[in-house]
Structure 1
């Protein structure tokens, strides 16, 4: 690696497994869980603690400097989930083509949270300044409903996903969100009738019980 840490795995001088691992761990130990993998990939390590990296101020910083001032300032932005979302929206608007963001990783790696923040950032970028900002809340409310039917408490994660999720945001020619398509797949049906020891069923059942009246419970 050069004297300056660019936060990009593709710029490492050594590409063996140990060098990659050491580099990622060193960044995480310095409260930098995000590392670029070229111009359109991002490696995220779950720090399992709040580092203060998902704030309104940071989100706005990437909107102002990663989208509105893309040509002049974008190269200086640090790796971040917000950066991936902002670049994706920028290229969609400039090129007029479809783009995909794929989240993959082992259990308890933070995929769901990264996706939630990505969705939030995309919805902010697509806001109509002349109308009340309802879209971000609506998208997150929809995600909450979907997650209620697919998340549960597992042995290695109190908020584990037990299905895959495909969501397709549909935009107008002016970059406003016009709709969203949601498909759940690989749903763990066996958990409905056979819950593993020391784990829980899907959140929706506990939510129904918690909010039910005495008559409904009986």
Structure 2
């Protein structure tokens, strides 16, 4: 398996394409710029199978309906953010943008941690709230990578000053879940460069001394 990073949308949110040798693909967090994303999918010769959302802030959902409709594929989001896709107040677009960002309701709601299998792909779903109440991270052991959304960044952690954010909860999640992953795990972050669990354990100033 391979994965590609495509920064999209108004604040360059990382969309990820995870794909296998057959060209089957998972789309994580298609945040906007649908033409750029479609061109990338076409250039790689991929057939998207599913959209997985780490959370439903506006900058992670802007191209959801375009991708869903073009490839006729389902969307997954955590149940705590089930109504964020259709509500600009909740997804934050009414606060940060002149116009609202909307998407249709998700096809499937994540209700608990555990294994999520979709087609040829399998992930361990980790509930990782704190940045937002329905944040989830998708760990793919086969490639030792966790798609973490805005939970953990290279040298930083997710902001918690938005509605539903909780700083103490996020720190607890980071130490009790994220940092329990193998140190060699790649972290595919929602913004900025990828990192590893080991690197953040050693050098992330927000995690030292907790």
Q: TM-score, normalized by length of structure 2?
A: 0.29
- Higher RCO (CA < 8 A, seq sep 6+): 2
The higher radius of gyration belongs to 1
Report which of the two has the higher share of strand.
2
Report which of the two has the higher share of helix.
1
